[in-house]
Amino acid sequence: MEFSHESVVVRRGRRSRLPIVVAVHSTALGRAVGGCRMWAYDSWEGGLRDALRLSEGMTRKCAAAGLPNGGGKTVVVVPAGRSLTADERRDALHDVGDIVAELGGAYVTGPDAGTGPADMAVIGERTEYVFCRPEAVGGSGDPSPFTALGVVAALRSTCLALFGSPALAGRRFAVIGLGHVGEQIARQLAAAGAGLVLSDVDPAKRSLGAELGAVFAEPDAAATAEVDVLVPAALGGLLTRDLVARLRCGAVAGAANNQLADPGVAELLREREILWAPDYIANAGGVVNAVSREVLGDEPEEAVKRIESIADTLTGLFETAARTKITTAQAADDLARQRLSVPVPTAPGP
């Protein structure tokens, strides 16, 4: 991987003694934004790799969504097999807050896998550069319903491209990963009358399957189920070469970041005529809501309109890719690069 980041801080937290990585990929369009992942890794290098990839993805995500922001990401490396006590968690969040504060506004953090609005309030005890604190203390709150809203908008575009109609009723979806975002996608799809295969590594999520009248399956069985659209909503790297060869869906569109195990998988999907909604286009709703509400000062309805415009962006990319015979990944990267070469003024905030 070529080093393209503006700055990367790797530090053992003064309080928590945990490895913490804050990667600022780009501030070309404005302050870098990106969530704080608190997750188990086998090594700190694994956390570093994740932060490097995810922060770069945030640059593309923000650019393609038309936000006046660049990309960054924080990873708190929790040793595999250990769970943090409440005090250790608070210490780690304060350590993150200190690093973010030192960056002086070049980077604004937010929630990601393993963190939520309450954690953002704790980070907020050390720095003002934090999105998505609870609404009660002036933040925009949990971004996951907005990420889910954007993904469902993307699923409508995907159905439009596959079937000529954006209707979700009667279509079949396999949702892999029933965390904050995946569960809400599943609920919205069920409410729209779609058929569902659901999967999660946590067997306790079976109850959601029962509640929504869905089939619950093991991850690999769900990923290879015969459905219209496969919806990755767990951690990254689901689409390996091996899995793509075995897929039985018409399209893949979901919430997970970094879905392609390697960039070449985009071409394999195209060869198999499986339509792929680029991850950072489909899953931008959370960060769009946060920036819209906390930086641009939008009312909730305006933020929702911005999130729903993901549908048009995606439809445009599907058309460009089909017309110019490139992968949808390439079409999305072209869009992001084009936005990055036309700077927009930095907005104040958050």
- The residues that touch ligand PHE, with contacts defined as CB under 6 A, are 33-35, 110-112, 131-132, 143, 257, 286-287, 290
Residue closer to ligand PHE (CB basis): 62 or 155: 62
The type of residue at 87 is: D
Q: Compute the least distance from the CB of residue 148 to ligand PHE, in Å.
A: 12
Q: Compute the least distance from the CB of residue 101 to ligand PHE, in Å.
A: 17
Q: Compute the least distance from the CB of residue 286 to ligand PHE, in Å.
A: 4
Residue closer to ligand PHE (CB basis): 56 or 112: 112
Query: Are the beta carbons of 123 and 93 closer than 8 angstroms?
Result: yes
Question: CA–CA separation, 241 vs 168, rounded Å?
Answer: 28
Q: Compute the least distance from the CB of residue 167 to ligand PHE, in Å.
A: 27
Residue closest to ligand PHE when measured from CB atoms: 110
By CB neighbour count within 10 A (0-12 exposed, 13-18 middle, 19+ buried), where does 90 fall?
middle
DSSP 346: P
Q: Is 251 left (phi over 0), alpha (psi -120 to 50) or beta?
A: beta
Question: CA–CA separation, 247 vs 263, rounded Å?
Answer: 17
Enumerate the active-site residues.
73
Residue 71 phi, psi dihedral angles, 5° rounding? -120, 145
State the helix-helix crossing angle for 328-340 and 44-64, rounded to 10 degrees: 80
Query: Are the beta carbons of 41 and 27 closer than 8 angstroms?
Result: no
